[in-house]
Structures are given as structure tokens and as C-alpha cells.
Structure 1
Amino acid sequence: MKYVKGRIDEAILVCVYYGANGERLIRRGHKMALMADCPLYILTVDPSPVDAFDEEKSRYIERWKELSEELQVEEFIILDNEKRPTPKVIGEVAKKHNITQIIVGQSAQTRWEEITKGSFINVLLREVPFVDFHIVSVQRPGTHEPFERFEKGVHAYLVKNGDEQYKIGFTCPKHTSIEGIFFKEIGTDFDNGIFKFTFEEKMYELDIAEGSVTDPENIPAKAKIIFA
């Protein structure tokens, strides 16, 4: 299904493979697409034909389709029985849909693992040199500890940037702000990561995409009052 978006000069592509982190990547892409008011595409590639998928693969595909409808994704793309190199396939899809940003996951358990290695990225950059890449780290299978996901934390400030919109800054602002620590995700040139701060002796964590808070509902109500 096609959905009308405000911007047509931006488009985001999320590449997913089977595993629990696929939904997380899709939701991350959805937040970014909402902020940019641009189309979001979901891509999964498999060397086997769809009719040969086992129950587990089929379950993931169905869930991603449901999620795509729920989040009003522009298009869920599944390329099965695909024998071409993955970078070639991603590049072809990116060019067809005028993609400007690509999100991929970093995981040791999936076929997308190679995406995080320099040789693959170099090939992919040659295929689609016109896009920005977001490499999102995910959890190891069977553990609750993530990979090294963030750079060393730096001091930052949370400031209000309009109605229910908040952003982070790195110099002390003259207007009201909340001081905290920003942890930037490894592998991105943007201010993507998490912002942690303490308020009334309780620790809070906010997701940050391109310098803006994507989940302002997680800011405590009393903290929002100080921005009024």
C-alpha cells in the first residue's frame, strides 16, 4: 500500500534478516521516517524460494508484513530465490526507490553479519555511493548483553525544540535544559544513540535519532514542566 508522505527527496530502507532484532530495526526506521516525514521501505533477501521457507522463516515474514501495515510502511520487499551478491541486490533496490538512508543490523548470528565488515561496506558503497548508512548493533543470541554498541559517553543537554519535540546539544544552552550523557552509536556519522539523565534520583534513557528525541513520552512529566 502506498502512503502519501510530505517529503519525496528522502527515503529510508531497512534491511532485515531472520531473528528477533528485525522488528527492532523496522521500528527504528519507522521513527526516523516519521521525523523526516518520508517513505520507509523494508527489504529482506533470501537465496531460497518462498515456498521452501520453514515455519520459523514464514512466521518472521508474516510478522514483518503485519508490522509494515501497522506502521504504514511504503512497501515491504521480499526478494526470494536470490542468487546475486547481497550488495548488488541492496543497491538495485536503493536506486529503484531513490533511497537516501539505509539501516542494517550488526549481529554475529545472521547473514547480515557480513554487512558490518569493511569489505562488504566498501562494495556496498560502490553500489550505492549516494546514501547514508546506519549500522545498528544488536544483541548476541542467547544473552542479554549487547555488543559494543556505543562510543564513550559525552556530556550533553536536553532542550525543548517545539511542542513535544526535544533535541540534544553539546554546549551549555542559555535556556532551560537537562544535563546528561549522550552515547553515540558506533558506525554512524549522525547523532544517533541514547541520552541518559537523572531526574529526582531516578535514571532515564531516551532514544536519539539525528539529534532529536524519538520517544518524548519517556520524559517524566515533572521534567517536562521545567521547559514550560
Structure 2
Amino acid sequence: MFKKKKHMDEGLLVCIYYGPNGERLIRRGSKIAKMFDCPLYILTVDAKPFDELDADKSMYITKWKKLAKEVEADGFILKDNEQRPVYKVIAETAREKRATQIIMGQTVQSRWEQITKESIVNLLLKEIPFVDLHIISVGRYIKDPDCNYEKGIRAYLMKEGENFRLVFKHTKEIAYEGIFFKEFGTDFNNGIFKLIKDGETLQVQVIEDIVTELTDVDMEPNENNED
């Protein structure tokens, strides 16, 4: 039994997509919902039926459902086998749940914009103009238990032959924009560069200003060892 919310004139809808940011968005949404003392709903959309989802996607959904109960969300909504545009589904759900605020991550927005070929923010504002939209950017931190990195700063990757060079000034030659986390105790630009590629967040290794490959480096602690 969930605690009865006082402010039913407000409602929060968190839109998540597969990847590590889903949990962060749910927790962020939970904090905001508690501040407003209003209902919290969590939504994810997939074009495939649930029973056709691969193991990774099924794992995410199971994890999100568990977290939804943990934060006392008022509902976890999976819209599977959905052929309509994602923004239409979000707008419909927002109306049904009387949501006044919508939260989505930068990677979620980027992933769905690849499908719609248009800004999902603009499309949603046309559908539901009186709802507040919150786009949560890539965080300026890395969950590293050893705290070996300085606070992240805005940086860019520029293509250089078969590699990428880390730079701190935006030019038209820039291939990727992101956040650079420099290792403590080094005079060179060694560390981690956090970027969005094909709608997914990647953390790639930087060695003396150079990134040789856009391969994700796992910097997060093993969740199975947190208990």
C-alpha cells in the first residue's frame, strides 16, 4: 500500500530507455515527486512485444520494476508492441496519468530522436503544451569507488587519422561532445571521456590526449557486491 499523496494536482512521469541511466532517472524522479508530494509514474516504450525482448532488455525491465516498488512509485508502465511514435505514447500516458511534469534523460532523448528525426521536445510541446519537460544531461561524475578522477569538465573529441584527439575548444571538426574526467596525479590528459554515441552513454579511455577506440570502459562498481 503506497502512502497517499497530498498534491494530486501535480504528477510526475519519468521516461526511461534501456541503459545505465534508467535507474538514475527513476531515483531523480522519486526525489522530485517527494518534494511535490505527488504521484510518480515510470514509462518505457518498445516496438517489440515483451516476450520477444532479448535477455538484456528483460533484465532492465525487471530491475526497473523492482526499483519502482522500492521508491514507492504509483505505477510502472511498459508500452510494448507499440507501433506509434514514441512522443505520441508519452503524451497519451501523460494525459491519462494527469502528469504535469515529464523527466527524460539526454540519452533517451537522443535515442528516440534517431527514430523520429525531429526534436522529441518540440514534438511533445506540440502535443502537451502545458506540461513541464525536464531533460537530464549526462552527469558530471563517474561512480568510481576509488575516486581517482577530478570533477568532469566539458571537452570534445576530434577525428585524427584512425584515432580521436581530446580538445577543449569547440570547432566544426568536432566529432563528439562530452565530459572529460582527468586522473589525479598526472601531468598529461589521461583519464575517461564520457560521451553519447548512437543514443547510449559510453566511457572511453583517454591516454595522453588520444582515444584509440570508442569502447566502453566499465568504471562502475559491481552491483552484486554492494550489499
TM range, normalised to the smaller chain?
A: 0.5 to 0.7
Secondary structure of 1:102 counterpart? strand
Question: In structure 2, what is the Cα distance between the partners aligned to 1:108 and 1:102?
Answer: 12
Q: Which residue is equivalent to 1:76?
A: 76
1:49–1:108 CA distance, 2 compared to 1 (3 A)? closer
**In the aligned structure 1, how far is the partner of 2:35 from the partner of 2:49?**
35
Residue 136 (structure 1) aligned with residue 133 (structure 2): no
Q: CA 1:9/1:82 → structure 2, altered by over 3 Å: closer, same or farther?
A: same
The 5 A counterparts of 1:11-160 are 11-107=11-107, 111-112=111-112, 119-138=119-138
Matched residues, number: 148
Q: Calculate the aligned-residue CA RMSD, in Å.
A: 3.2
* Unaligned stretches of 5+ residues in structure 2: 144-148, 155-227
Deviations 1:105-162 (A, max 9, x none): 10289624559x863221110111111011001269x9999795xxxxxxxxxxxxxx
Q: Which runs of 5+ in 1 are unaligned?
A: 149-228
SS in 2 for 1:9: coil
Moved over 4 A (4+): 142-148
Question: How many Å separate the matches in 1 of 2:131 and 2:83?
Answer: 24
Q: TM-score with structure 1 length normalisation?
A: 0.58
- Secondary structure (helix, strand or coil) at the match of 2:119 reads helix
Residue 28 of structure 1 deviates from its aligned partner by 0.3
C-alpha separation in 2, matches of 1:26 and 1:34: 12
Query: Does the CA contact (< 8 Å) of 1:17 and 1:110 recur in 2?
Result: no
* Distance change (3 Å), C-alpha of 1:101 and 1:24: same
Taking structure 2 as the reference length, the TM-score comes to 0.58
Output aligned runs, 1:208-219, within 5 Å.
Answer: none
Aligned-pair identity in percent equals: 55
